[in-house]
Structure 1
Amino acid sequence: MEIKFKSIVLLSVWTIIIIVHTLFLYLTYQLTFVQSLADALVFNSIFALISFGLWFMTAFYDVSQRKNFDLLLNHAAACLITISAWISISVYALKVIFVGETGYVDFLVQSIPIRGIVGFLLYVGFVWAFYMVRMLSVRNWQIEQHEKLSQQLRDAQLKALTSQINPHFLFNSLNSIHALIMIDADKAGDMILKLSELMRYSFSKQQQMVSFNEEIQQVKRYLDIEKIRFSERLNVELTVEEDAKKAIVPSMILQPLVENAVKYGIYGVETEVLISLSAEFKENILNVKLVNNFDESVPVKHGTGMGLKNVNERLATLYFRNDLLRVEKKQNYFEVNLKIPQL
């Protein structure tokens, strides 16, 4: 497709040059229309053929490895040879076509110096254009390679960040099971089954991006596990708009935030905790709000912060923005606001 487009452009340029050439001779030198058209066709067709040689010369001539003087000398020689061959072949062909028409032949011979100047300008113009095309092609190739390498690097970073989520969650879940075994073995068995379902989903999902509805279902599985441990002390409220469910989000992006809410809301306290998760789709952005209350009288247990840091880094890597996750501690509750742009 690209080659076809370039061919059409090149043909259009030469057609315009031939038309201008014909009209110039016909109106300025009062040649016949046939003479003017033949002159334009022969001279421009032959230069067009020669220009293919100029293209190959510029395509395979490594300018970066040449000194300026050598480059100038080589092009001066090539220009002289090109103009000489162009004029000689064209004049000979037109003399054969218009043999016996002394008026045109005399004009042809007298116009050789002017044609030499025109040939020089054509040579400079075409060589410059060829070098520009080559430079742009190399630049575009470099940009493509840079983008490809950048994408590969981002993919590697995302895989590394995602791989940290499963062990982190598994560690927390096993701690919960360990604590539950001492209290209620039956509930611990139920929790192990639910954990296996959760981990099966986590390990089977290889895509970087999934629907928000899938993320919600994963969060529900996680909260089911925590409810077995904390029973009526853990209350959950989900309010998700239908449009929001269709949004595309990074896989496992929501679970670390919910884990964080459970950890700082209910761990180490005896009171009930409400975790409220709402999501709406507005102006091509998925807005997620996660709120959990906490007991101010209980000292906050500081963790590694890996979950939130992981989410922030993944968002920055994917969307090139650092303002998509905001965490606020208010009077008696934490509020997390997450924005996911739709690409």
Structure 2
Amino acid sequence: MWSTSAWVLLCALSTFLGFVLSRRRPASPRHPAGLPDEATFATLHITALAAPSLRAGLTRDSARKAIRHLRTLLGVSAIAVTDADGVLAWDGAAGCHRDHAPEHARTVFSSGRPYVVAGDAIACDTPGCAIRGAAVVPLTVDGRVIGALAAYDTEVSAGLVRTVTEVARWVSGQLELAELDSSRRRAMEAETRALRAQISPHFVYNSLTTIASFVRTDPERARELLMDFADFTRHALRRGGDFTTLADELRCVDRYLLLERARFGERLRFTVRVAPEVLPVPVPFLCLQPLVENAIKHGIAATGGSGEVRVVVRDAGPEAHISVEDDGLGMDPGRARRLLDDDPCQGPGEGGIGLANVDVRLRQIYGEGYGLVVETALGAGTKIRLRVPKLPTR
């Protein structure tokens, strides 16, 4: 289903395509206006070339990469993209007007409306300069004017003003999407930081206490456990990106299980079965360890007895299928829903260090169909399943 913003962008694109095509080639009996043809393809191709740069936001680099394509769309002598600090990029002849572009854009920053520059306001002392006017249109994000698009030509007609306005509307749409991408990245980074902050202090305390108990009786075992603890914390607290490989994530899980095994002794049994071909698959950082912690905390430790945790990773064609299962007490399905409904940014709740956090991040990255699936019942243990696409994620 298309979102409202997608429909708005599509309508804006359709509208300005009509204006651009009318400027690029007049209608003729052989090429009636409005029919798809080479000019339509060329215009769509140019917008596709400009879009990736604009999705990086309004910067000097993105404006410089996109401006040539925008001038080709408009078919004018020169074009400028400015922000509040000055000219970000200029393309075309009449460079004598480049330094005047910020002054020409000042009106649209204050009014938020298109502005036509003509007469004495556009005059210059350069012999042979053919520029006689400019159409300057605001670039907006969330209703804020963040820049201006100015088209310079030998004359400024009403058609040119409409065309520049529609192109600027399309550019603004791309900048809106860039802002959404940036907001999404910031939200994901905040959730990852929250997940790191939620690493259970009880786990840290219990691990160090367990290691200390071996210092006198079995120094070599204490040394090995201390190295396992160091490896685990290095992975959990690293300042990497949002993704790691499945191999690295499983290594973190292995270290966690070894530390918990040292604490529980023979009461905790675990098996890890992994299809080797999925080890390089990129996965969200800290997406498995919280599931294993949940299995130990709610499935085994709560019983006061013993139990087993099983981690299985299968190759499923375009996806890797992962399950974390325990044979503990299980829980009421309503309680399982509450674990997933915990606010992932409010610190550790009933779900330990973040079942909800993992669930939210999976859905944000891959789509609503990729959240956690919890299978449980009282007295029947708990199994948590997730799917991860093999395709690399940007």
Q: Which interval holds the TM-score relative to the shorter structure?
A: 0.5 to 0.7
**Counterpart-to-counterpart distance in 1, 2:366 and 2:266:** 39
Deviation at 1:328, TM superposition (A): 2.0
* Cα 1:306–1:4 shift into 2, 3 Å: same
Deviations along 1:207-231, whole A, 9 cap, x unmatched?
Answer: 3210001111111111112222333
CA contact (8 A) 1:161 1:314 kept: no
**Counterpart-to-counterpart distance in 2, 1:209 and 1:184:** 36
* Cα 1:305–1:233 shift into 2, 3 Å: same
Trace 1:95-244 onto structure 2 (pairs within 5 A). Answer: 123-165=157-199, 168=200, 170-175=201-206, 178=209, 186=217, 189=222, 191-204=225-238, 206-244=240-278
Q: After superposing the two structures, state which structure 1 stretch, 261-270 or 331-340, moved more.
A: 261-270
- Count of residues paired in the alignment: 256
Q: Are 1:334 and 2:382 matched, yes or no? A: yes
**Counterpart-to-counterpart distance in 2, 1:179 and 1:134:** 64
3-state SS of 2:368 partner: coil
Greater per-residue helix proportion: 1
Question: Which runs of 5 or more residues in structure 1 are unaligned?
Answer: 15-47, 79-88, 90-120
**Counterpart-to-counterpart distance in 1, 2:370 and 2:69:** 43
- The normalised TM-score by structure 1 is 0.58
CA contact (8 A) 1:275 1:290 kept: yes
Q: Percent identity of the aligned residues? A: 22
* Cα 1:157–1:147 shift into 2, 3 Å: same
3-state SS of 1:336 partner: strand
Letter in 1 for 2:252: Q
Q: After superposing the two structures, state which structure 1 stretch, 287-296 or 316-325, moved more.
A: 316-325
CA contact (8 A) 1:274 1:293 kept: yes
In structure 2, the partner of 1:306 is 352
**Counterpart-to-counterpart distance in 1, 2:373 and 2:188:** 23
In structure 2, the partner of 1:325 is 372
Deviation at 1:264, TM superposition (A): 2.9
**Counterpart-to-counterpart distance in 1, 2:158 and 2:226:** 78
CA contact (8 A) 1:244 1:281 kept: yes
3-state SS of 1:219 partner: helix
Letter in 1 for 2:205: L
Deviation at 1:180, TM superposition (A): 8.0
* Cα 1:332–1:128 shift into 2, 3 Å: closer
- The normalised TM-score by structure 2 is 0.52
Deviation at 1:67, TM superposition (A): 11
**Counterpart-to-counterpart distance in 2, 1:178 and 1:7:** 68
CA contact (8 A) 1:211 1:247 kept: yes
Letter in 2 for 1:189: A
Deviation at 1:252, TM superposition (A): 1.8
Deviation at 1:292, TM superposition (A): 1.0
Letter in 2 for 1:174: Y
CA contact (8 A) 1:324 1:340 kept: no
In structure 2, the partner of 1:284 is 318
In structure 1, the partner of 2:53 is none
Q: Are 1:261 and 2:308 matched, yes or no? A: no
**Counterpart-to-counterpart distance in 1, 2:304 and 2:176:** 61
Answer with 1 or 2: which has the greater Rg.
1
In structure 1, the partner of 2:362 is 315
* Superposed CA RMSD: 4.5
CA contact (8 A) 2:300 2:326 kept: no
* Cα 1:323–1:184 shift into 2, 3 Å: same
**Counterpart-to-counterpart distance in 2, 1:200 and 1:321:** 31
3-state SS of 1:340 partner: strand
Question: Which runs of 5 or more residues in structure 2 are unaligned?
Answer: 1-64, 78-92, 120-129, 131-154, 340-348
CA contact (8 A) 1:289 1:337 kept: yes
**Counterpart-to-counterpart distance in 1, 2:112 and 2:215:** 84
3-state SS of 1:306 partner: coil
Deviations along 1:224-245, whole A, 9 cap, x unmatched?
Answer: 1222233333222222112321
3-state SS of 1:267 partner: helix
* Cα 1:185–1:245 shift into 2, 3 Å: same
Trace 1:48-87 onto structure 2 (pairs within 5 A). Answer: 60=105, 62=107
* Cα 1:198–1:60 shift into 2, 3 Å: closer
3-state SS of 2:270 partner: strand
CA contact (8 A) 1:234 1:272 kept: yes
Greater per-residue strand proportion: 2
* Cα 1:224–1:272 shift into 2, 3 Å: same
3-state SS of 2:382 partner: strand
**Counterpart-to-counterpart distance in 2, 1:295 and 1:215:** 27
CA contact (8 A) 2:360 2:371 kept: no
CA contact (8 A) 1:243 1:280 kept: no
